[in-house]
A and B are shown apart, each in its own frame.
Chain A
Amino acid sequence: MAKQPAVVSLDDRKPLRELMAESAARWEATGHYQGLRELKLKNDDPLRYELFHARLLSTVIAAREVAKQISSSVMTREEGELSFALYTPEGDSVVFSTGIMVHIGVMGNFIKWMIANGYEEDPGIAEGDHFANNDVLISAVHVPDVYFATPIVHEGEIIGWASGVTHVLEVGSITPGGGMTSLAVERQLEGIHVCAEKVAVNDRLRRDYELRIRRNTRLASFWLLDDRARITGNVFIRNEVKKIIAEFGLDYYKAAIRELIEEGRRHHLGRVRERLIPGRYRNPCFHSSLLKERPGVLPQANRDTLIHYPLELTVRPSGEIVLDLEGASGWGFHNFNAPPGSIYGGLSIALAQTMDYDGRANSGCVLNVVLKLPRGSIVNPDYDFVSTGFSWGSVMAIFNGFLKCLSRGFHGRGYLEEVLTGGNITTAVEWGGKDQYGRQTGGVNVEVTASASGARGVTDGIDAAWSLWNPEGDQGNAEMWELLYPHLYLGRRVVTDSAGAGRFRGGACFESLWMIHKSEFVFTYQIPGVARVATNYGIFGGYGGGPAYINLAKNTDIAQRISARRDIPHGEGDPGRPEIARLVKGEVLRGEDAQYISEPLKEGALYEKLYLPGGGGYGDPLERAVDAVERDVNLHFVSPKVARRLYGVEGLETGGEWKVDAGRTAKLRTRLRKSRLARAVPVKDWWRSERERIVAGGIKGEAAAMYADCLSRSPAWARTYREFWALPAEFDFSAPPPPPGRRNRASSMVPKR
């Protein structure tokens, strides 16, 4: 591409749509953001430039802290599920706060969408206006994450935007109400969509909007206080930006915010060259949607689906990264559909955590990343009424894989401390029905925001902390959750043997055991979990965690046991003999079936959610330091059984402490290594017999359906598949047809970036 010199003029007052088009043209022509070949302000007076950046950054961080104090939701106040950012007039992020950073780029695209759709003329953009959106096909991640964008107007000119997001507890969706339940298989079941609407004027929420929220949600006060929290954060940013302009001057402000973005772009490219290796990285990921014959599921969704995300990452010698999902499953009548906006969000947060965390994390960092998302697939659905309630499921699977791809690069360069094998790909539980105060309730307990990280290349993953979408998330106090929903915590503890084994193990996840309290009418629904598949495998010989499940006990004698002061369950304990089955009498359900209830739960029922899987491991478990295994056993993070079987460590409990037996450990490890060699076969032999199995129709059920879908969708992926197994071009899988309504009319609602 021939690069032409571009003259940057930002002084003219132009419609935002023109500014946006000019910015795109300059990028096309020069490969520099806004055509900025030089970082003039930085070079002329670096101290002033740094001061300016620090002022902006501290503003958005402070806005998040201020907004937290307005919200009354556990999620926003305690878990920190909110984030704020400052944008250029064209919708490019300049600085952003911590928190659910995944939304930063996505909110920018929401601003761009309004500009592209003529919002300046109608409904008009003025000081004091606030625009709201949670519509994924405009630009969002899923319904509960509500965005507010606020123009910043200086002497009649729009000089930027403040935008904030919080995850609201309850969104008026189908029961239970948090908008992420697997019952929401089409858009109309997801709850209230606010579609790029002007919801506040003169910094006050409109009365008609407020009425709509009150009339259509079960916990309206939480939603509406979160709205006020976002307005507060945005107004805080707006006011501070005006002070900064008064101090630095308008011209400096306009030029510097753009220079910061171009610097972000260069910084990102520098990081790629510093830490990665050019080449091709692959990490296929999978998810399961289990809806077949489940209570409450609509006919078109009555099927189980194995979902395929064939992630391929190419790092070009130029430093450009191409993320390709060619061959991905088609979209479906389940809520894992993840339109481009959500993938873009996953990309931003994955990069912000691994490469672009300092320097200038902003829109510039993703300018040299190309997304290839096949139209009609789960990552780019061509159906306007697709459900996206748990787009997160897809985003987590893909971007934990993405982290592992990057980690292979970090490892190759020797930056082992940056390696981060994928973390938790888990889910939460929604609660609905009558609460302990006799009112209608609903929503989601998202304590999973602190679950488990993957292993590092030099140390273990973090236990019961970290999530992809919010790296510094918190579980929220149990007491606060108890105030909100009709459940009491009998226990909240680390799940033994949940971490992916490895020389460095993944983080161990936690579990919560709830007792239904003061209600006879409680709906729970687990947001679809990773069932049937062990996803998120480790790296370099480390394992991933196993599938997720819950335990449920109904009609129990827990009340009598409590009044008689007898032992009650506090956690699962030995999964072979769970406390919930051992310590109470009642009807016990375990595994994936337990998450689908056909009747409301009542006082005394016990619900135990294990936030599996834990993080992925790093390296061969037989090489783990024995003292680390000893510590894990004594903390009950690892059972003696797993210590022996996966880590090859023998020990004995004496005086309440488990001690390693070094001699027997060394022998066991040698034996385990030998037994590997004895049971394994050369890949060539395995390939032959697997090929015979495929040709003979040995791949059945949902796996066959997945292959049939992906082979028909993508000739390129089909070629790779048939080539690997040396199958003829006409080879195909016999599987039931895709769900009705596929390949519906295409949407043109999302504007190009």
Chain B
Amino acid sequence: METYPTKEVLKDLIEGRLDWPRIKQIMSSPKDSDRFMKYLALAQERVKWTEQILLPLGEHLYIVAKNGERVVKCDCGQEFGDWRGNWKLRALIYSRDTREKLEGIYPGARCPDPQWCEVREFYCPGCGTQLEVESVPPGYPITFDFLPDLDAFHEQWLERPLPDRIEAQDRSGEVIRRWVGDLKREKRVGTKHNGKATGSRKSR
């Protein structure tokens, strides 16, 4: 028997085409236990590439299986590396860290104080989508929003284990250490890094 919402109705729900009474009806009903599989199938149909989606991570981001690895990928095709490395570290950033830049979102009296708060926008380098926004004090580390335990999820909760196991350990420190290594190397060979935070975009 087909569960409700059906795949077609779920598509309408995701795309924001259902009116409130129908949304409310779905909210008030017991959940469809096959939702995740329907959802995955819809996501897989939507993207242009063929890697298998393991978990949707945002409006445009997915964790996908690729050559025995699990990488974060945008629906435009842009990849952000291993899922344990915090995809934000491989994104583009525009940090609204001056009054002028903050006023682009919060004009006049509604503007935060840049000594207390900056608004960081993370964009996909491939398609320019705004993937995530952070509002934190200056000097705050970039937040690693969500590190799913994919194996526990697929194996213990869905009872559909993934072909190989990879421990869900935070690997963002490795990305940082690579950056530090690059920094040291550059200093050694005497190429001075031309570092201005949020000016014009530099080559990557």
B-binding residues in A (CB < 8 A): 273-275, 277-284, 286, 288, 306, 308, 317, 405, 408, 411-418, 456, 458-459, 497, 501, 503-504, 532-544, 546-547, 549, 575-576, 590-591, 612, 618-623, 625, 645-646, 673-674, 676-690, 692-694, 698-704, 706-707, 720-721, 723-726
A275 touches B135 (CB 8 A): no
With A274-B31, A534-B106 in contact, is A540–B135 under 8 Å at CB? no
Instruction: State in angstroms the CA–CA spacing of A317 and B40 once bound together.
Output: 21
Inter-subunit contact A688/B179 (CB<8 Å): yes
B93 is contacted by which of A497, A541, A683 (Cβ under 8 Å)?
A683
**Interchain CB contact (< 8 A) of B143 among A283, A619, A684:** A283
Can you list 16 residue pairs at the A/B interface with Cβ under 8 Å? A278-B156, A418-B27, A501-B105, A503-B16, A534-B102, A534-B117, A612-B110, A619-B59, A620-B59, A623-B129, A673-B128, A681-B197, A681-B199, A684-B204, A703-B116, A706-B137
Is there an interface contact between A412 and B56, defined as CB atoms closer than 8 Å? yes
Bound-complex Cα distance A627 to B197 (A): 37
Contacts of B68 in A (CB 8 A): none
- CB-CB < 8 A to B38: which residues of A? 414
Q: Which of B112, B125, B137, B197 has the most CB of A within 10 A?
A: B137
**Closest partner residue, chain A, to B147 (CB atom):** A280
Cα-based distance from A249 to B90 in the complex (angstroms): 65
Q: Interface readout for B114-140 with A: 1 if CB under 8 Å, 0 if not?
A: 011101011101011111111111111
Report A-chain residues with C-beta under 8 Å of the C-beta of B112: 532-534, 546-547
Q: Are B128 and A288 in contact (CB under 8 A)?
A: no
Task: Given contacts A620-B59, A683-B88, list 11 more A-B pairs with CB under 8 A.
Answer: A282-B144, A306-B116, A532-B112, A534-B106, A541-B121, A541-B132, A544-B133, A547-B111, A646-B105, A677-B125, A680-B92
Q: Is the CB of B35 within 8 A of A413?
A: yes
Contacts A700-B115, A724-B176 given: A417-B109 contact, CB under 8 Å? no
Query: In the complex, which of the residues A618, A687, A702 contacts B179, with contact meaning CB atoms closer than 8 Å?
Result: A687
Contact B137 A703 (CB under 8 A): yes
The complex places the Cα of A682 from the Cα of B109 at a distance, in Å, of: 31
In this assembly, does B163 line the interface, its C-beta being within 8 Å of a C-beta of chain A? no
A277 touches which of B55, B95, B122, B130 (Cβ 8 Å)? B55
A415 x B35 contact (CB < 8 A) = yes
The answer to whether A458 touches B16, judged by C-beta atoms less than 8 angstroms apart, is yes
Residue pair B90, A532 in contact (C-beta under 8 Å): no
Interface class of chain A by DSSP: mixed
Measured between beta carbons, the chain B residues less than 8 angstroms from A700 are: 115
Q: Which of A412, A417, A676, A725 contacts B13 (CB 8 A)?
A: A417
- B144-170 interface bits toward A, Cβ cutoff 8 Å, 1 = contact, 0 = none: 111111001100110000000000101
B2 vs chain A, min Cβ distance (A): 16
How many angstroms from the CA of A622 to the CA of B138 in the assembled complex? 26
Taking a contact as CB atoms under 8 Å apart, the answer to whether B23 and A703 are in contact is no
Whether A686 contacts B13 by the Cβ 8 Å rule is no
User: Are A459 and B140 touching (Cβ within 8 A)?
Assistant: no
Cα of A694 to Cα of B139 in the assembled complex, Å = 6
Q: B52-87: contact bitstring with A at CB < 8 Å (1 yes, 0 no)?
A: 000111110000000000000000000000000000
CB-CB < 8 A to A694: which residues of B? 139
**Using Cβ atoms and an 8 Å threshold, which residues of chain B touch A405?**
146
Complex CA distance for A106 and B88, rounded to whole angstroms: 39
Asked whether any CB of chain A lies closer than 8 Å to the CB of B14, the reply is yes
Instruction: Knowing A458-B13, A543-B105, A724-B141 are in contact, say whether A682-B202 is a contact too (CB < 8 A).
Output: yes
In the bound complex, do residue B148 and residue A412 qualify as a contact, i.e. CB atoms below 8 Å apart?
yes
Q: Are A681 and B26 in contact (CB under 8 A)?
A: no
Among the listed B18, B40, B95, B119, which residue makes an inter-chain contact with A534, where contact means beta carbons less than 8 Å apart? B119
Contact, CB under 8 Å: B197 / A547? no
B141 and A620 within 8 A (CB) = no
A contact residues around B127 at 8 Å (CB): 673
B117 A677 Cβ-Cβ under 8 A: no
Q: Which of A416, A539, A540, A674 contacts B14 (CB 8 A)?
A: A416
For B136, the chain A residues whose CB sits under 8 A away are: 284, 286
Contacts of B35 in A (CB 8 A): 413-415
CB distance B128 to A676 under 8 Å?
A: yes
Contacts of A702 in B (CB 8 A): 115-116
Q: Find out whether the CB atom of B109 lies under 8 angstroms from the CB atom of A575.
A: yes
- How many angstroms between the C-alpha atoms of A621 and B134 in the bound complex? 15
Give the Cβ gap from B31 to chain A, nearest Cβ, in Å: 6
Measured between C-beta atoms, what is the minimum distance from B112 to chain A in Å?
Answer: 5
- CB pair B195 A685 closer than 8 Å: yes
Is B188 interfacial (CB 8 A cutoff)?
Answer: no
Bound Cα distance A511, B57 (Å): 36
Question: Nearest 5 pairs between A and B by C-beta?
Answer: A414-B39, A546-B110, A680-B92, A724-B141, A546-B106
Contacts of B131 in A (CB 8 A): 540-541, 620
Q: Which of B97-112 contact A (CB under 8 A)?
A: 102, 104-112
